[in-house]
Amino acid sequence: MPVFKYRGYNEAGAEVSGAIDAENLREAIVKIKERGIFPGKVSEEAAYRRGVLSRRSLTSLLPEVTRRLSTLLSSGVPLIDALNALSSEQKGVWRNILVDIKERVSGGASLSRAMQSYPDVFPDFYTGMVSAGESSGELSSVLNTLSDFLETQMNTRGKIRTALIYPVFMVIVSAIVLSFLFIFVVPKITRIFEDSAQGLPAITILLIYISNAFRRYWWLMALLLIAFAGIYRLIRERRKDLIDRILLKDPTGIMMTLYMLRFTTTMSLLLHGGVPMLNALRLTSKATGNLIMERRIMSAYELVSQGARLSSSLEGFPPTVLQVISTGERSGRLPEVLSRLALSYEREFDRRLQKAIGLLEPSLILVMGFIVGFIVLAVLLPIFELNQLIR
């Protein structure tokens, strides 16, 4: 539903401004007048764009917004007043979203139902937890738990990005430097040898071929790179299962550890929050980030709905996870054991990630050293041979 910003005057003649939720401009004006405000200017403001950049910028603030809403509710502030206060201190898109949610709640909708209007901002597991918190009367506690969970997720993504900054930077700089060498520097050096009647070493001939290919067909290489990126994106959109199946076979084990971390953390969160097992499985399947894992969890969902135990329904999961789940089912403490397992996977993920980056960095340096050594050797060998002929 659109959000309309207005500026006008109240019954006392004081200037006021705000935002209101309405189907159209006419309805917005009627609602504003019902509040005892004479509207001077009313304009529609877009709720938010559904682009990737916009979605990332919104979700980056979600932990903070969730924490503040939890603080307000735990302090005894009514929900509508809390949403009003929270929207007042936000700007731009987030303000519009919170105003819209407040209007929906004021109209009789539950908070979880109002949040479901923004699936790109509030994930399914989020609204599921909020719904469970509303049913149990522990909404502020659930929101506090959600904020902790969201911050943990952001920290995990931040670790991955931070770990990849240096290797990606090295790859980009290396590509730029090598392209410059092969296109501008090497041709000037090898031109001396091309005019020589002396036979050139095979390594020098190879260097000349590579340099000529870079000079003449650099545009083709750029097109191939763009085409590869386009094909990858197309496969990612239409056959995501192919890529996700390959990621599951990652020899370093990092990706499987990451998926297990997401699974155990989300399941523990939902079960602690009072979400029923079947709903928890359905919501967790979408939180893993892997289509194959999602299908396996949904397959377990079907079996559990028929009376099977969770530990015997999960296919393709590590034996450790299945054993822990089995123990938790027998003891009736499944949320607690999943929480401890999540902490274990978090430490394992950090260790594997650091180990992989520790191996990647020297590997990149070694590759660069090999290429530079190849260029130097290809240039120096003919010079040494010329010196021997002169003597």
For residues 9 and 130, membership in a common domain is answered with no
For residues 218 and 306, membership in a common domain is answered with yes
pLDDT digits (tens, 9 = 90+) for 35-53: 778 777 777 655 444 444 3
Residue given tokens 């938790």 in the structure block: 328
For residues 258 and 313, membership in a common domain is answered with yes
For residues 105 and 246, membership in a common domain is answered with no
Query: Please, are residues 360 and 160 in contact by the beta-carbon 8 Å criterion?
Result: no
pLDDT digits (tens, 9 = 90+) for 75-109: 888 888 998 888 888 777 888 888 888 878 887 78
Say what the pLDDT of residue 50 is. Answer: 44
For residues 23 and 60, membership in a common domain is answered with no
In the 8-state DSSP scheme, what is residue 200? P
Q: Domain count for the chain, please give it.
A: 3
Q: Percent of the chain having pLDDT more than 70?
A: 89
Would you give the distance in Å from CA 246 to the centre of its chain? Answer: 19
Say what the pLDDT of residue 193 is. Answer: 67
Q: What span, in angstroms and rounded, lies between the C-alpha atoms of 35 and 56?
A: 36
Domain finish residue from 126, 152, 178: 152
Q: What span, in angstroms and rounded, lies between the C-alpha atoms of 9 and 4?
A: 16
Full residue range of the structural domain in which residue 320 is found: 158-391
Would you give the distance in Å from CA 163 to the centre of its chain? Answer: 15
Query: Please, are residues 53 and 11 in contact by the beta-carbon 8 Å criterion?
Result: no
For residues 214 and 106, membership in a common domain is answered with no
pLDDT digits (tens, 9 = 90+) for 180-220: 888 887 787 777 766 665 567 888 888 888 888 888 888 88
pLDDT digits (tens, 9 = 90+) for 290-343: 889 999 999 999 999 998 999 889 988 999 999 999 999 998 899 999 999 999
CATH code, domain with 148: 1.20.81.30
For residues 217 and 347, membership in a common domain is answered with yes
For residues 74 and 166, membership in a common domain is answered with no
For residues 148 and 170, membership in a common domain is answered with no
For residues 121 and 37, membership in a common domain is answered with no
For residues 312 and 220, membership in a common domain is answered with yes
For residues 287 and 378, membership in a common domain is answered with yes
Q: What span, in angstroms and rounded, lies between the C-alpha atoms of 21 and 83?
A: 14
119-124 contact pairs (CB < 8 A, 24+): 120/48, 120/50, 120/55, 120/58, 121/48, 121/55, 121/58, 121/59, 121/62, 121/97, 122/62, 123/286, 123/287, 124/282, 124/283, 124/286
Question: What amino acid occupies position 10?
Answer: N
**Conformational region of residue 137, where left means phi above 0, alpha means psi within -120 to 50, and beta covers everything else:** left
